[in-house]
Structure 1
Amino acid sequence: MNNSKQGNIFVSFYKSMTDIGYYKNFLHMTTGKAFSYLVIVSLFFFLIGIIPSIFQYKGTVNELFHNLEQIPDFEIANGRFQMDSDTYHVVYDNNEIGMIVVLDPVNEYRKNDLNYYQVAILLTETQLIQKTVTSHSTIELSDLSMISLTKSDIIRKFNRFFLTLIPVLIIYMLIFGLGVKILACYIVHFMTIIYVMIKRINIDRKSIFRVCCHAITLSTVVGTILSLLKISIVFWDWIFLLAAFLYSYNAVKKYAKDNNLYIKTEESNF
């Protein structure tokens, strides 16, 4: 098989999922090329997987500020939140993503209700309460007495700010997603090395790594599909690693059988 075909990422992508015998080509390619394949495939499918989240984030920001325009005028000045209203206003409430934003100038909203949400913001007459999955903080507005904001200020400044965060969030999520895939590859690499050591197969670790860079292909594709369909599978992370290891294991095993010179002892069934 010519080198151009071996180096074709589309061929590598297809063969990684459909042809264990083709993995012998990955054993002999450069480590840099194999790692580049891992990076490109991981970033591409992770980007596809987060597209719905990006649109959801943009929709959330637009809805939040649209609702904000509908409520009475207010201002934050001299360490107090003031609004010409005798009740609290729920600016945003989405049970699906577990997020709520409440403006409460009369201190009527029950703070305990924030516990039902993963992300919550409650602005009272004297406090700004923020809650996430991992933290819960309360800021006294008196500590922000130097700040003066009106409703129009918030809509004009923060709407643009939240939308400009989208590229930053995309880059952050891509880096995080790539890191997870590289970590998964190294875990599969470690598992395969253990198998090779047990079976006393004479294959170097760099060659095994090149195999593992391709072995996670199917798991990555399936994971992206599950993400797009919003399907959650129990212990998916373990299934991901097991499926990738089975590809690596079978590829190394077949290569060892087809090349007896690389086996120190007669291979037994594993």
Structure 2
Amino acid sequence: MTTQPMPGPDDLPEGGGAATDPTRDQPQPEGWPARSGQDYYKGPVRLRGRRVPEETTDERLLRNDGKSEFVHTDPWRVMRIQAEFVEGFGALAELGPAVSVFGSARVREGSPAYTYGLEVGRLLAAEGFAVITGGGPGTMEAANRGAQEARGDSVGLGIELPFETGLNDYVDLGVNFRYFFVRKTMFVKYARGFIVLPGGFGTLDELFEALTLVQTGKVSHFPVVLMGVDFWSPLLEWIRGTLVEEGMIAPGDVDLVRLTDDPREAVRHIVENPARGARARPVG
């Protein structure tokens, strides 16, 4: 039996030959040239007309003209994003019970917020929790410092920003990310709870994303603690007086957070309301 060769691109009728072209419904191998009016396939994607590229994928791949635009295309970004997830999962998979601590990068040592972070980090480590922060200065540094000084696991998840100076000196396990959403996935995935210190837009973003995930059942119902009564009370009053009153959230949604000035109460709330799995084992 003689096998007939598959028609090549020069065997196709002009204009694509919709009625007589025996290969019109078959994807063309990637790299074939395409005449105007023919279907051009890039994997599962079909292109026609002006969208047919002037160069094949192989030509672009083998071209050595010093250009690197391909590393800025969306398909390439997908690979970068995938790589960031793999790196993050690989680095944190064996971390054990952890709590994410959020807060401002702008506060200085000696401020109330810094003191909160320092004490929270120490107490969490004493209870057997790893402490995960954004790895920056301010309250993040304080929580990492407290965990490290208590001989606990101190983790920093950094982010690529033009004004960031890198991970603070108290991070023992650090991972840097390009993409906020990958980084925030790590904060949630590996945490048994959240302690939120005073902070700005970034802190609010992390807080409300966490509350949304809990409210909608995307993650286990786990404890969220706000540290700083004077700082957070106006926000909670607005939530009760506006969001609840206008029917935007259920009255019980306000109970997703615990407000306190006491680091011991904050950590105790985490310990007594474990999100999933076994309780952390206290150090010593």
Instruction: Select the structure that is richer in helix.
Output: 1
Do they fold alike, i.e. is TM over 0.5? Answer: no
TM-score, normalisation: structure 1: 0.26
